[in-house]
Amino acid sequence: MAVFEPTSIPGVVIVVAKSIEDDRGLLMETMKRSEFARAGIRADFVQENHTLSKAGTLRGLHYQRPPRAQGKLVRVVRGEVFDVAVDLRPESPTFRRWVGVALSAENRRSIYIPPECAHGFCVVSSEAEVVYKMTEEYSPEHEVGIRWDDPAIGIAWPVSAPALSPRDRNWPPLLPV
């Protein structure tokens, strides 16, 4: 049975998957609907993405606006990343706060990020492969982002000069309310 560890942001949950290891290798249940539902995560995943990124690459901060807001289940299959969720739900007591967690192939942790939270990650190993499931399909007209180094959020990234895509370099800061 997986272990579900709440974070300081409601709905953002670290998932430690159950794995069985023997001399042949391992079997790991990375997502089981009934266990997720018992933990309060009712997610119907409809798309899965796989990224390969080099050391120092930062992807994010991305999210999609309603009605196409995405919940994400993120895990690393090779390497290590510093993964971040930012709460963008105005009604939330943790609105504009962030939480970061190390995800790696070695620690076999995942993170569930609910809809209306921004997501990003930074590669801290030589390379990292990240797999993430989403509750909504990618919709370019609903996609938005926040500047990775927005001082109003103050994320303590493990790099000061990350490799960024032009799109991620040009996202605006989160506007004050």
Catalytic residue among 62, 63, 112, 119: 62
Whether 112 is catalytic: no
Query: Do residues 117 and 165 touch, judged by C-beta distance below 8 A?
Result: no
Catalytic residue among 112, 132, 138, 142: 132
Whether 62 is catalytic: yes
122 exposure class (CB count in 10 Å sphere: 0-12, 13-18, 19+): buried
Active site residues: 62, 132
